[in-house]
Structure 1
Amino acid sequence: MKPIKPVFEQMNNEIQNIRKEVQVIAVTKQVGVERTKEAIDAGIRHLGENRPEGLAAKRAAIADDVQWHFIGTLQTRKVKEVINQIDFLHSLDRLSLAKEIQKRANQPIKCFVQVNVSQEESKSGLAPEETLEFIKSLEAFDKIRVVGLMTMAPNTADEETIRKVFKGLKALQLEVAAENWEHAPCTECSMGMSNDYLIAAQEGATFVRIGTALVGTESEG
C-alpha cells in the first residue's frame, strides 16, 4: 500500500483549496492498528470506524489525541459498547437509538442525523421531509447534541446526481440551523467519500469520510 502521508497531504491541499473548513476523517474500518497509526503519524486527527470490535481494538492500542467517529448503522443493542468511546456519531436516524443513547451516554454526544437525501431503498436515514420534526423531538434528550447532518450520495459516475444530493443536504442543514435550537446547532455537513469528496467540499461539506482512497484496505488479521 502507498504511504499515507503524501496521499493525505495532496488530498488535503485539494480540499482546502475549495473550503478551509473541511476536516478529513480517515475511515480505518478496513485496516489494522499499524496502518491506523501511520494515518495519525501523517497528521490525521479524525478516525472513523463502523464496528464496535474495530473501534475497541484501535482505541486500546492507540493513545494519541484523536477524535473518534462512529460511522455506519449503530444497532441499538450495541450502543452501550460504543457510545462512551466516541466523540461523534454519524448515523442517528431513529427515536429508539436516541433513547438508548440517552440511557447509556455519560456525557452529551455530538451526533449527525442521517438523512437519505437520495431516497434509495438500500440506504438508511430519515426522509428529508421528516428531518426537522425528528430533530425537534430530540430536545428532551440532554445526552444528544445534533451538530449536523450526514448523507451518502448514490454510487454513480453522474456528477450532477451526486451534486444534487449534496446540495439537498446543505439546504436542509441550513434550514435546521435557522431554527436556533439549543440542542441542535446543526452547523456541520458530513458528506463525501473516496469517490466524491471534492464534490462534497464544493457543496458545503465540513467533514468528508475517506477510506480506500486514503488508507487503502488490508486484512484485519
Structure 2
Amino acid sequence: MAAAKTGGAVGLNCVVDYDKRIEAVDAAISLAEARAGQRSARTRLIAVSKARVAADVRAAYEAGQRDFGENYLKEALAKMTALSDLDIVWHFIGAIQSNKTRDIARRFQWIHTVDRARIASRLDAAAERPLDVCVQVNVDAEPRKAGVAPSNLAALVAHIRELPRLRLRGLMAIPRADGDHRASFGTLRSLFDAHANAAGDHWDSLSMGMSDDFEIAIEEGATMVRIGTAIFGPRPTPARERVLA
C-alpha cells in the first residue's frame, strides 16, 4: 500500500490531491483482494504517468507511490532525467519498436509488452542487468492490437527462457474495450496457470486491469494493476500525447 505523505500538484485545471486519490485506489484494491480471498501477496499498483508532466509524477511519489508506467520512450526518458533523484521503479507498458529496445532495456526495470521473439532477443542483447518482463497476450484476438496469440504463447515462453538477461515474470493483457473484461481476465489467468511449469521459477505476475476494471482484474487473479485516470485524472488530449511520443 502506498504510504500516506503530503503530495499535490497542479494538474490540467486544478490542484490534484494525490494522497487522497492513491488512498482511494489502495482502499479499492484491498476490498477487491478481500473478495478474491487474498491474504498475503499485495497487488502492485503501477501509476500510469503517460502524457503527465514530471511535477505530477513527483507529487504522486511524495504521496507514497513508487511504481510508474510509461508508454512512450522519449517522454519517459525526459521524466527520468528530471526525476533522477527519486528511487522510482519504471515500467514500460507501451508498444516496443525495434530501434528503441536498447534504451528500453537499459532504463526500465520492468517491461510488460514483450510479444515477439525478435523483440525479446534484442532486449536481452541490450540489457546490462537482469530485466523483469511480461509477455503481452492478445486474449481477444483483436486484429490491430499488439500481443502474442494464445496459440503461439508456448513458443515465445520457451524462447524467452533461453535468454540469460530476461527474467520471465508473467503475462499482461488489455481486454477489448467493449468486451467482457472478466472473461478476458479469466482467459489470461488460465493461460498463466497452463504455462507455469514451462515458464520457470520467476513466474509470478499477472499485469491486468486499469482504472475502469482493476477490481474485476484483482478478483480474477491480477498481481499488478495499471492505473492512470483514477490517480492523475482525465487524460490529456490525443494531440498532446502524439507530441510526447
Structure 1 length as normaliser, TM-score? 0.92
Q: Secondary structure at the match of 2:135?
A: strand
Greater CA deviation, 31-40 or 51-60? 51-60
CA–CA distance in structure 1, aligned partners of residues 144 and 231 of structure 2: 25
CA–CA distance in structure 2, aligned partners of residues 81 and 180 of structure 1: 26
Q: Is 1:163 aligned to 2:185, yes or no?
A: no
- Residue 139 of structure 1, aligned match among 153, 161, 177: 161
Tell me by how many angstroms 1:174 deviates. Answer: 1.5
Please say if residues 25 and 209 of structure 1, whose CA atoms lie closer than 8 Å, have aligned partners that are also in contact: yes
Tell me by how many angstroms 1:80 deviates. Answer: 1.4
Q: Secondary structure at the match of 1:179?
A: helix
Counterpart of 1:149 in structure 2 is: 171
Question: C-alpha deviations, 1:95-117, integer Å up to 9, x for none?
Answer: 11012112211112100000001
Matches within 5 A, 1:173-188: 173-179=192-198, 181-182=200-201, 185-188=202-205
Give unmatched runs, 5+ long, in structure 1. none
Q: Is 1:87 aligned to 2:109, yes or no?
A: yes
- Residue 210 of structure 2, aligned match among 173, 177, 193: 193
Tell me by how many angstroms 1:17 deviates. Answer: 2.2
Counterpart of 1:215 in structure 2 is: 232
Tell me by how many angstroms 1:179 deviates. Answer: 3.0
Distance verdict in 2 for CA 1:73–1:168, change over 3 Å: same
Q: Is 1:15 aligned to 2:29, yes or no?
A: yes
CA–CA distance in structure 1, aligned partners of residues 203 and 140 of structure 2: 20
Question: C-alpha deviations, 1:143-192, integer Å up to 9, x for none?
Answer: 11110100001112x6xx1100001111111122233625xx32110001
One-letter amino acid matched to 2:187: G
One-letter amino acid matched to 1:177: A
Please say if residues 132 and 166 of structure 2, whose CA atoms lie closer than 8 Å, have aligned partners that are also in contact: yes
One-letter amino acid matched to 2:59: E
Greater CA deviation, 62-71 or 16-25? 16-25
Q: Is 1:58 aligned to 2:79, yes or no?
A: yes
Counterpart of 2:52 in structure 1 is: 31
CA–CA distance in structure 2, aligned partners of residues 64 and 193 of structure 1: 25
One-letter amino acid matched to 1:194: S
- Residue 6 of structure 1, aligned match among 13, 16, 20: 20
One-letter amino acid matched to 2:26: N
Counterpart of 2:219 in structure 1 is: 202
CA–CA distance in structure 2, aligned partners of residues 96 and 134 of structure 1: 10
Please say if residues 161 and 168 of structure 2, whose CA atoms lie closer than 8 Å, have aligned partners that are also in contact: no
- Percent pairwise identity: 32
Count of residue pairs the alignment pairs up: 216
TM superposition outliers: structure 1 runs of 4+ over 3 Å? 217-221
One-letter amino acid matched to 1:6: K
Matches within 5 A, 1:62-73: 62=83, 63-73=85-95
One-letter amino acid matched to 2:107: Q
